[in-house]
A and B are shown apart, each in its own frame.
Chain A
C-alpha cells in the first residue's frame, strides 16, 4: 500500500519535492528575463520585481495543485516572511558594504591620527583625529548629563510616581521630547546659551543639545526595563527589612542593568550620528581641540557633512571614511558596554 497517492483517509498527503522551490525560482527568473525583452518593464529592478511576483504566484499555484489549499497558504505565508526578511536585510547590507568599500580606501592609521588642519579640499591626506576627539568628548559629556537624569526619571516614574498626576505629566512630556526634531534641540541650545547667555560655540554646547535628544530615549527604555522586574523581588527585599531606596539600588537596578545598558547604548548610537544640532552649537573646525569648554570643536558627523560639502574626490573619500569611523565607533562602544554589563552582572552568569 502506498501512502503517497491518496490524500483522503491517509495521514500522509502528497508533498512537493524539495527541489520545487529552487526550480520555480529559476523558471520565474527565466520568464521574467524573457518578459523583459518584449515588455516595457525592464532593467534589473523591474525584472527582479516581475520574477518575485511570478515566483509567488507559480509556487503557490503549484503547491495548491499538488498539496491542497492549507499547504499552499502555509507556503505563501512562509515565502512572504522570508522575502520580507531579505528585503529588510538589503538596505543594511547595502549601506554597510558601501561604507566599508568606499571608506576603506582611505581609512588608515594616518587617517585616524591626523587632523584636517592646513589640508585643502583638493588635497589628499588629512584625517579624522580632531573629529574623533570631538565626538568622544561630546558624546561622553552628553551621556554624563543625560543618563543620570534619564535613569532617575525612570526610577521616579516606575518606583515612586505610579499613577500620580506628576508622573503622567512627565510621561507625556518625555513622549513629546522623543518626537522633537534634532535641529530643534540644537536651536534651543543655540538660542538659550549662545545667543541669550552669550556663551561661545563649544563642544559643551553641542553635548547639551545631544543630551536633550538622549534623555527621552534613556527614560523610556529604562522605564520599560524597570517595569519588567518582578514585584516579587522587590517584596523579597522589603521582607528582609531593606528600605525602598536600597531595594531599588541593589536589587531592582542590577536585575534590569542589561536592558538599561542596551537602552543607553541605543541612545548613544542615536546621538553619535547627529549633525544638525552640532552644526549650530559646536560649529566646524579643522584643528584638534581637546577642550570642550572653549572654542569650536569638530565631530565626526560634522566632519562628514563638511567633506561632502567640498565635493572634491579626496574630500568625498574622506567623508566615506569618516562614516566608517562613526560606525566602528558606535560598534566598539556597544561591545564594550555589553562586556561591562556582562562582567558586572553578578552571579547570574
Chain B
C-alpha cells in the first residue's frame, strides 16, 4: 500500500557541508511528487535521504524528522534495510546487475535477500513486475538473456520492474529519464502514471515539461549561490506552480529567466 511521507526540518550534510537545509514537506500517497530545481540544489540528496541511501556515502549525516505513515525512519531503533525495503529507488543511469539475467534481475530483491519463495510463485512475481513495468511483451521470450543486453529504455524499465518486485510502498526516481530518448521517456512517463495507483512516487527531474506532465505536486528547490545549501522554495499542486507560482524565484526558473 502507498504510504505518506512527512518531512520536518530535514537537513542533509556531506561532512560539514550542508547540501539541503531545513526542508519541511508532505508527500501524499498515490500521487506523484516532482522535485525540480537547478543542479546542486539538493533535490537528489533529499531524495536519497528519504530512503536512508544518503548515509551510504561515508561522512554524511541528517538532522530533522522523516515520518513514513507516522513512523520516524531515522529513529535509532529503525533498521535502514527495512526502510529501503519499503521505499524503493530507481536511479538516473539504468543499473541492471551485469552478472544476472533479465529474470534474475527482477527476482534480485527476493533472491539476494534469500527470502524463500516457490519457483512458480517467483515466476508469477517476475511476470507481474515486468508487466507492471510495461516490459513483459518485449522480454518474455528472452528472460535468460543478460539484463545488460537490453536497450537503455528497456534497462530502465527493467530497473523499475526490479524495484517494484519487492512490493515497496514508495518509489523514488532520481532523474529516471535523463539518459533516455523521447520514446523511452514517454514509455516511462506512462508507466509512472499507472504506478501511482499503487505507490507513492517521488521523481527528481530537470525536465520541467516532464514535471508538468507526470506530477500532481511540484516542489521547487533553489540555492542562493555556489557553496550555499539548497532550500525548498515552495511546494504546490503542479497546475498551480506552472500557472501562478507563489514565489518570484519559481516563476523565473520555470519560465527560463533565472540568474
Give residues in A with beta carbon < 8 Å to B: 162-163, 230-244, 246-247, 250-251, 254-255, 345-349
B144 located at the interface, meaning its Cβ lies under 8 Å from any Cβ of chain A in the complex: yes
28 example contacts (A-B, Cβ-Cβ < 8 A) are as follows A163-B58, A232-B91, A232-B93, A233-B97, A233-B98, A236-B97, A236-B162, A238-B81, A240-B84, A240-B112, A240-B162, A241-B82, A241-B86, A241-B109, A241-B166, A241-B168, A242-B109, A246-B112, A246-B113, A246-B114, A247-B112, A250-B112, A255-B97, A255-B99, A345-B99, A346-B100, A347-B100, A348-B98
Q: Which residues of B contact A241 (CB under 8 A)?
A: 81-86, 88, 109, 113, 166, 168
Q: Which residues of B contact A346 (CB under 8 A)?
A: 99-101, 104
Q: How far is the CA of A348 from the CA of B84 in the complex (A)?
A: 27
Contact partner of B148 among A246, A254, A348, CB < 8 A? Answer: A348
With a 10 A CB-CB cut-off, give which of A235, A240, A255 has the most chain B CB atoms: A240
Q: List which B116-156 residues lie within 8 A (CB) of chain A.
A: 144-148
User: Which residue of chain A has the shortest Cβ distance to B110 in the bound complex?
Assistant: A240
Find out whether the CB atom of B166 lies under 8 angstroms from the CB atom of A240.
yes
User: Which residue of chain A has the shortest Cβ distance to B102 in the bound complex?
Assistant: A347
Q: How far is the CB of B141 from chain A (nearest CB, A)?
A: 15
Tally of A-B residue pairs with Cβ under 8 A?
96
Q: How far is the CB of A231 from chain B (nearest CB, A)?
A: 8
Find out whether the CB atom of A235 lies under 8 angstroms from the CB atom of B91.
yes
Q: How far is the CA of A233 from the CA of B108 in the complex (A)?
A: 12
Find out whether the CB atom of B112 lies under 8 angstroms from the CB atom of A238.
no
Q: How far is the CA of A245 from the CA of B129 in the complex (A)?
A: 26
Q: Which residues of A contact B168 (CB under 8 A)?
A: 241
Find out whether the CB atom of B86 lies under 8 angstroms from the CB atom of A233.
no
Q: How far is the CA of A247 from the CA of B113 in the complex (A)?
A: 9
Find out whether the CB atom of B95 lies under 8 angstroms from the CB atom of A232.
yes
Q: How far is the CB of B15 from chain A (nearest CB, A)?
A: 12
Q: Which residues of B contact A247 (CB under 8 A)?
A: 112
B53 located at the interface, meaning its Cβ lies under 8 Å from any Cβ of chain A in the complex: yes
B89 located at the interface, meaning its Cβ lies under 8 Å from any Cβ of chain A in the complex: yes
Find out whether the CB atom of B99 lies under 8 angstroms from the CB atom of A235.
no
Q: How far is the CB of B156 from chain A (nearest CB, A)?
A: 12
Q: Which residues of B contact A348 (CB under 8 A)?
A: 98-99, 146, 148
Contact partner of A240 among B109, B144, B146, CB < 8 A? Answer: B109
Q: Which residues of A contact B111 (CB under 8 A)?
A: 250
